[in-house]
Structure 1
Amino acid sequence: MTETTSRHLTARERADRGREARSRVPRSDHAEFTPAPDRPDPVDVIEQQSSSRLPDLVPIRYGRMTESPFRFYRGAAGLMAADLAGTPACGLRTQLCGDAHMLNFRLLASPERHLMFDINDFDETLPGPWEWDVKRLAASLAIAGRGNGFRRPERALVVHSAVRAYRKAMRRFARMRTLDVWYSRIDAQELYDAVSTRLDKRTRRRVSRTLDKARTRDHMQALDKLAHVVDGELRISADPPLIMPLDSFLPDVERKDLEQQLRDLIERYARTLPADRRALLAEYEVVDMARKVVGVGSVGTRCWVVLLLGRDDRDPLMLQAKEAQTSALAEFAGRSSHTNQGERVVAGQRLMQATSDMFLGWERVQGLDGRERDFYIRQLRDWKAIPQPELMAPDVMGLFARLCGRTLARAHARSGDRIAISAYLGRSDAFDRAIGYFAEAYADQNERDHKALTTAVRTGRVTATSA
């Protein structure tokens, strides 16, 4: 647990601790969101974050963020972190995802080759108030609902579905033995079998196709999509500016230096893997590498795709080495105990996920500019399927929201005081309704911030490109 004192309390004392927190911070208080009088210009905040990123990629980030309020929200975790720091919190902390919007919940493969539903992105992970993750998830659902044209009562049902699922799941976890909480996971096929009777025939077919498609998104599919043969050798395909092999944008001397640094990175990062995974990785040889643009909020951070081969050209391993910068939450929740930001990401992911990528590890590397940067490494693609909120009707988004709420509760229950949090939440829907109000209020703020960025692009204050 992130709070060691709770280890020495009885279950009753922990529950009392949660109920006592209500007197300090009533659950209805979480409905509040009023921008601080000295709230900084959102464009200034975004530009400050961009200052540590690759300059040629920053316009792509802005281009993606201007596409819609929802896309803006995905890239504005730092902006929301400052806003959340001014909202009520009951004093109970847990390991946070830090960016728990709805698209960071998806299908993933376990090392045992089971298709699981879990949280995916942990770039901002850090211990902090558990409410922050819940509020970021809830606001993302409200924003996505607006984008789909849902009426306010429909959006409210979606948000309440997520928060109610979180509250009820936390109550179940509070009653469970500790090991059982850690063993808990959401198997995608079992989940589909359980909820399929609630879906119409068309939606059942679409969800079933999504499950089948996720199982095809493995290292072989990544190889077929991202690589081709050049002069008899397998190489990563260029797709500028999103995928750039090193020889396409660096002079020969710099390219060779960077190639060697990335080879050294893969070799050294193996030390952060368990012994059996180190032995497995040693079966592969690095053959090519490229720069890759990823996501929305991460655009501009340094991200490398590394192609390794085992027995032959049909025995690939695609690794992604992604730069890990200081968490956007650190200024408000406290700095990480890990000096390496890659280790921070990996530690948070292992703590919150039911099962993590078997090649997940971290390392620090010195760049061509002489600066040291932290990275975390994982497989590029392994049975992943990203939800498509724009295709969701209100009832389907409601089901998805419940799944996200339940998943987030399990992740928080592993690291926080699940008994105290459950007691704070209680059995009524007071917290659910409060978060519903918060989500709508923050969706309003997000639209204002999105408009500020689009205005900055239109007036030439910042440059945006589509890619």
Structure 2
Amino acid sequence: MAQSAHAYVRGNTIKFYEWLDRAGKSKSLPEGPSIWICGDCHIGNLGPVASAEGKVEIQIRDLDQTVIGNPAHDVIRLSLSLAMAARGSDLPGVTTALMVEQVIQGYRHALLGRASKVKESDVMPIKLVMRQALNREWRHLAEERIEDVKPTIPLGARFWALSKAEREEIERLFGEDDVRKMATCLKSRDNKDKVAVLDAAYWMKGCSSLGRLRFAVLAGIGKGKRRDFSLIDIKEAVKAAAPRAAKSEMPRGNAERVVAGAKALSPFLGNRMLASQFMDKSVVLRELMPQDLKFEMESLTQAEAIAAANLFAGVVGRAHARQMNRDTRGRWAAELMKTQGKTIDAPSWLWSSVVDLVSDHEAGYLEHCRLFAMKRAG
């Protein structure tokens, strides 16, 4: 989080919602229809995602914070993320204003089913990652995640040894029919194939792993020459920081909530996920696919930053729109623009929110860096 201001924004969802609770009412934020939202809608959580049938699209790729809530929250968080990415690329402040205009345009066009003039090829980092995703195979994932194509997980800084109880629990979990069905859902596999645990380890994967269950499981699917390998992520699901809509009916379990939100917002990913229990903890299982990547939006040109804002907002808009009927989409698109800005082609509530949030997070980032430096010095 100390590496850059944008990394601080990505890793500080709680601070975002603290600001929203403190200042959101004074901004007169529009109250959209109660639908599943990402809850942590920054550009690091958008990227190419593969379906079980082998198709690849840019969708939301992390749904830990998903709730039934106000879709305006996703629009604001995405805009903040884009603004901080622009600052990280040393782009002038006018770029942020142009990006916010493109966020609302791309989002509304997606709601209304209008085609976007922006293409993935207009943003070089997106073009390169999409090309990479379409050409990746199992060996690429294995070399990247477990450093080898051999059916073992190397212990070290990232992967730690399991306790006997944890290993037994993983074996028990992979003996369940629901897990077997999830592991064999890809079109290249037979749904009657047996699934065997070849190796497993605790996965120290960023700050989101600290204090929570997180395991990597290397599984063998099928037998003989038809045997396929699979890397499955088991992640503890915890309470979301994002506020839920009043009287909304969501699953009580956190893992069930994450999977339900994923299926609504990012079906390519959600249909490959499973909610379960691990040692009395709520966990989500999903197979990691070679095509599931994230974008590193650094060193953008102004034209690329503006195009990326439209493109990413369109992805979020489509994820929201598929949960609404035509009339609801039209009403929400109109509600977004009720407070049109005088000097910017975007609603005033969105622009003022971004300005305040950038200021708030810049101050928070500098304080975070000061504390981080003091701890290292000590």
TM bucket by the smaller chain? Answer: 0.7 to 0.9
TM-score, normalisation: structure 2? 0.84
Is the helix fraction higher in 1 or 2? 1
The answer for the alignment partner of 1:317 in structure 2 is 230
Query: In the alignment, does 2:33 pair up with 1:122?
Result: no
Deviations 1:267-321 (A, max 9, x none): 3472695797497375321111112233554554321110001235962011001
Alignment of 1:275-314 (within 5 A): 277=185, 280=191, 282-297=193-208, 299-310=210-221, 311-312=223-224
Alignment of 1:255-404 (within 5 A): 255-268=163-176, 270=178, 277=185, 280=191, 282-297=193-208, 299-310=210-221, 311-312=223-224, 315-330=228-243, 337-356=250-269, 358-366=271-279, 372-404=280-312
Quick check: 1:108–1:383 contact (8 Å CA) kept in 2? yes
Deviations 1:43-65 (A, max 9, x none): xxxxxxxxxxxxxxxxxxxxxx1
Displacement after TM superposition at 1:382 (Å):
3.3
Quick check: 1:227–1:235 contact (8 Å CA) kept in 2? no
Query: In the alignment, does 2:128 pair up with 1:213?
Result: no
Which has the higher Rg, Structure 1 or Structure 2? 1
TM-score, normalisation: structure 1? 0.69
The answer for the alignment partner of 1:17 in structure 2 is none
Quick check: 2:153–2:201 contact (8 Å CA) kept in 1? yes
Aligned length: 360
User: 1:326 and 1:269 mapped to 2: Cα distance?
Assistant: 27
The answer for the alignment partner of 1:237 in structure 2 is 154
User: 1:121 and 1:109 mapped to 2: Cα distance?
Assistant: 13
Alignment of 1:126-137 (within 5 A): 126-137=67-78
Displacement after TM superposition at 1:325 (Å):
0.3
Displacement after TM superposition at 1:356 (Å):
2.6
Alignment of 1:33-48 (within 5 A): none
Question: Which ranges of structure 1 fall in alignment gaps of 5 or more residues?
Answer: 1-64, 174-183, 247-254, 367-371
User: 1:266 and 1:350 mapped to 2: Cα distance?
Assistant: 22
User: 1:357 and 1:337 mapped to 2: Cα distance?
Assistant: 16
Residue 236 of structure 1 aligns to a residue whose secondary structure is coil
| Residue from 335, 338, 342 that aligns with 1:424 | 335
Amino acid at match of 2:233: Q
Amino acid at match of 2:261: G
Task: Provide the identity percentage.
Answer: 22
Displacement after TM superposition at 1:339 (Å):
2.2
CA RMSD across the alignment: 3.2
Deviations 1:13-68 (A, max 9, x none): xxxxxxxxxxxxxxxxxxxxxxxxxxxxxxxxxxxxxxxxxxxxxxxxxxxx1222
User: 1:276 and 1:213 mapped to 2: Cα distance?
Assistant: 25
The answer for the alignment partner of 2:49 in structure 1 is 108
The answer for the alignment partner of 1:10 in structure 2 is none
User: 1:219 and 1:275 mapped to 2: Cα distance?
Assistant: 14
User: 1:257 and 1:137 mapped to 2: Cα distance?
Assistant: 41
Residues 312 and 324 of structure 1: CA distance in aligned 2, closer, same or farther (over 3 Å): farther
User: 2:180 and 2:252 mapped to 1: Cα distance?
Assistant: 15
User: 2:250 and 2:338 mapped to 1: Cα distance?
Assistant: 35
Alignment of 1:166-181 (within 5 A): 166-172=107-113
Deviations 1:215-241 (A, max 9, x none): 344433223441658xxx83112341x
Quick check: 2:183–2:230 contact (8 Å CA) kept in 1? no
Residues 70 and 261 of structure 1: CA distance in aligned 2, closer, same or farther (over 3 Å): same
Quick check: 1:362–1:375 contact (8 Å CA) kept in 2? yes
| Residue from 82, 90, 96 that aligns with 2:30 | 90
User: 1:67 and 1:404 mapped to 2: Cα distance?
Assistant: 23
| Residue from 222, 225, 234 that aligns with 2:141 | 222
User: 1:445 and 1:341 mapped to 2: Cα distance?
Assistant: 30
Moved over 6 A (4+): 331-336
User: 2:182 and 2:161 mapped to 1: Cα distance?
Assistant: 30
The answer for the alignment partner of 2:315 in structure 1 is 407
Amino acid at match of 2:134: R
Displacement after TM superposition at 1:117 (Å):
0.8
User: 1:228 and 1:274 mapped to 2: Cα distance?
Assistant: 24
Quick check: 1:293–1:300 contact (8 Å CA) kept in 2? no
The answer for the alignment partner of 1:446 in structure 2 is 361
